[in-house]
Amino acid sequence: MKLDATAITVFIFFFVVVTVLGFFAARWRQGDLNLLHEWGLAGRRFGTVVTWFLLGGDLYTAYTFIAIPAAMYGAGAVSGFFAIPYTVLIYPLVFVLMPRFWTICKQRGYVTASDFVKDRFGSKSLALAIAFTGILATMPYIALQMYGIQISLAAMGIPITVPLLGFQVDVPLLIAFVILAAYTYTSGLRAPAMIALVKDVMIFIVLFAIIAIIPTHFHGFGPIFDAAHQKALANPKTFSDIIPANQAIAYSTLALGSALALFLYPHSLTGVLSSNSTKVVKRNAALLPIYSLMLGFLALLGYMAIAQKVKPFGGFGNNSAVPALINAIFPSWFAGFTFAALSIGALVPAAVMSIAAANLFTRNIYKEYFRPAASDHEEARQRKSPHWSLNLAR
C-alpha cells in the first residue's frame, strides 16, 4: 500500500482531537481520582446517554467492526452473522438481572465481580479465580483492539514495523498505546466515556455513508447478494451466503453461548457499575440493541467487499477486506475519517478493558493477598501504575 497523505492528515487530526479530550476528561464531572470508585467507575455518576455511548463503545469494538464483515467475506453468514442475534439475546437478561446487581454493588461498595463473589459465596479462592479469569480473558481482547488499529494504519500505507536497534518495532502502535495509557492514567474511566461520544458519532456517520453510497455504487442490494450467492455456489464447502440447515444448531448455540458470556467480561460490568441508577441500567438494556442494528448493516460490508472483488493486503488476510473496500469506494479524505473512527473505536474499549483488569488486580489480588491494609489512595496508585498497564498490553 502507498502512503495516502490526505487520509493520514485527516486521521491524525481526529486522533489529536480525541487525545486532547482524553486528558480534558479529568476535569469532566470532577472527583477525587485518588479514590477507587472515582478513577475506576467515574464515581458511579453516568446517566443514560453517557452510559449508552460508553457501553456501546465498549461492547461494539473496532475489531468487531473489522472482524465480523471479514468473517462474512471469508466464510459467510454462519461465521459472521451470529454476532447480530447474540448481541440482542443478552439484553433481556441485562434488564432483569443487572439492576439488582448494580444495587448490591452500590450499597456495599463493590467495584468488581470478584468483590460480589467473595461476599456472596464467602470464598476467597473463588473470588481469586474470577479475578484471574477476568484478567486473562481481557488481555487478548486488548490485543485485538491493537490489531484493529494496525489494519487501519496499514490501509493508509503507514509502515507497521520500523527497524530500531536491530529489532522490528511497531512504532505507530506503540505511540497509540502510550497515548492510551497516559490519558487513562490521568482521567480514569472518564476518558473513554468522553471519547466514546466522539467515536460513536463518527461510526454512525460512516454507517450512514455506507448505507447511502455503496448500494448505489452497485445499483442496489441485489447485485451485492447475488455476488455472495455466486461465491457460495463456487465454494460450497467453505462459504455459505445463508445459514445451512445442517449448521442451524451450531449457529444457535454459538449465538446463545456468546450472549451469556458477554456481560461476564470485566469491562462490560465496569460500564454497568458506572451508571448512576437502576433506571439507567434498564434504559440501556432497552436502547443498546440500536448498536446491534448498526452492526447488522456493517456485517453486510463483507458481502459488499465480495461484490467489489477487493483483494486483501498486508498479510492481514480477510481482516483487510473492509479497509480495502473503503479505499476502493470512497475518496481519500473520507477513508482517513473512517480509519480514524475505527482506530478511536479501538482506544475506547482498550481503555475500559485496561481499567477493568486493573480494578481486578488491585482490589482482588494486590489488596487481598499482598497489602490487606492498603488505603483507598494506595489502591488507586497501584491501579494506575504505568508498569501494570504496560504488562497488561503485552
Q: Compute the distance between CA of residue 41 and CA of residue 36 in angstroms, rounded to an integer.
A: 8
- Contact, 335 vs 156, CB < 8 A? yes
Q: Compute the distance between CA of residue 375 and CA of residue 394 in angstroms, rounded to an integer.
A: 28
324 CB-contact burial (10 Å; exposed 0-12 / middle 13-18 / buried 19+):
buried
Q: What is the pLDDT of residue 377?
A: 63
Q: How many CB atoms lie within 10 A of CB 252?
A: 14
Which domains occur in the chain, in start order?
A: 5-387 (1.20.1730.10)
Radius of gyration, CA atoms only, the chain: 21
145 CB-contact burial (10 Å; exposed 0-12 / middle 13-18 / buried 19+):
buried
Q: Compute the distance between CA of residue 73 and CA of residue 321 in angstroms, rounded to an integer.
A: 7
Q: What is the pLDDT of residue 42?
A: 84
Helix (H, G, I), strand (E, B) or coil at 206: helix
List C-alpha distances in Å: 140 to 135, 143, 145, 176, 341. 9, 5, 9, 17, 21
Q: Would you state the cell numbers that stand for residue 240, as one nine-digit string?
A: 455459505
Pairing assessment for the beta strands 167-169 and 162-164 based on DSSP bridges: antiparallel
DSSP 123: -
Q: Compute the distance between CA of residue 214 and CA of residue 224 in angstroms, rounded to an integer.
A: 10
- Contact, 368 vs 124, CB < 8 A? yes
Tell me the residue type at 155: A
Q: What is the pLDDT of residue 384?
A: 59
Q: What is the mean pLDDT of each run of 10 residues along the chain (394 residues)?
A: 86 88 75 73 89 87 83 88 87 93 92 92 93 91 86 86 70 78 82 86 90 91 94 91 87 89 90 93 92 88 93 86 93 94 87 89 85 65 52 43
Q: What is the pLDDT of residue 224?
A: 94
Q: How many CB atoms lie within 10 A of CB 52?
A: 23
